[in-house]
Amino acid sequence: MRAVIQRVNRASVTVENEITGSIDRGLCLLIGITHEDTADDLKYIVDKTLNMRIFPDPTGDSGFDESVQDIGGGLLLISQFTLYAATRKGRRPGFTAAARPEMAGPMFEQLVDAFRFSGLRVQTGVFGAMMNVEIENAGPVTIILDSADRNAPRKG
């Protein structure tokens, strides 16, 4: 599972000219699911995202002291199969590594439920729909999180 995490001042998602989700200060997550993902991948993404210290402390002296939970921020979750695009060959990306909708849809809903369990405000797009996402990236801060990396040894 991959997540592109963006620290935002505000973010919203629109489907067919209707806003389906919006948040103020918090995180916008673009989520890609592959056919190899399990509950462990989901848990890793949720735990890491909720506890990652990427917000400034209240004095503003440091940029990376508090988590989205610490600040009571919102979460906007957007499914995005294109995070698993293969671009090595040719000019058109391939998406065979992305999970099929019949697997990815339920897993995305499980992910949404896991984030809601945190008690934070969670908003979403519409799975499989053409969406327009608007963000005001704060910093800018953008972090890529890949659950496959959790088992990789640290470089030292």
Q: How far apart are CA 8 and CA 76, in angstroms?
A: 10
Any long-range contacts for 12-15 (C-beta under 8 Å, 24+ apart)?
12/76, 12/133, 12/134, 13/76, 13/78, 13/123, 13/124, 13/125, 13/131, 13/132, 13/133, 13/134, 14/131, 14/132, 14/133, 14/134, 15/125, 15/126, 15/129, 15/130, 15/131, 15/132
Picking from 123, 26, 142, 116, the residue whose alpha carbon sits closest to that of residue 74 is 26
Tokens of 35: 């056919």
Distance CA 28, CA 25 (A): 9
Active site annotation includes 80: yes
**20 flagged as catalytic:** no
Which candidate in 6, 14, 80, 124 is catalytic?
80
Of the residues 81, 108, 115, 123, which is catalytic?
81
Q: Active-site residues: which are they?
A: 80-82
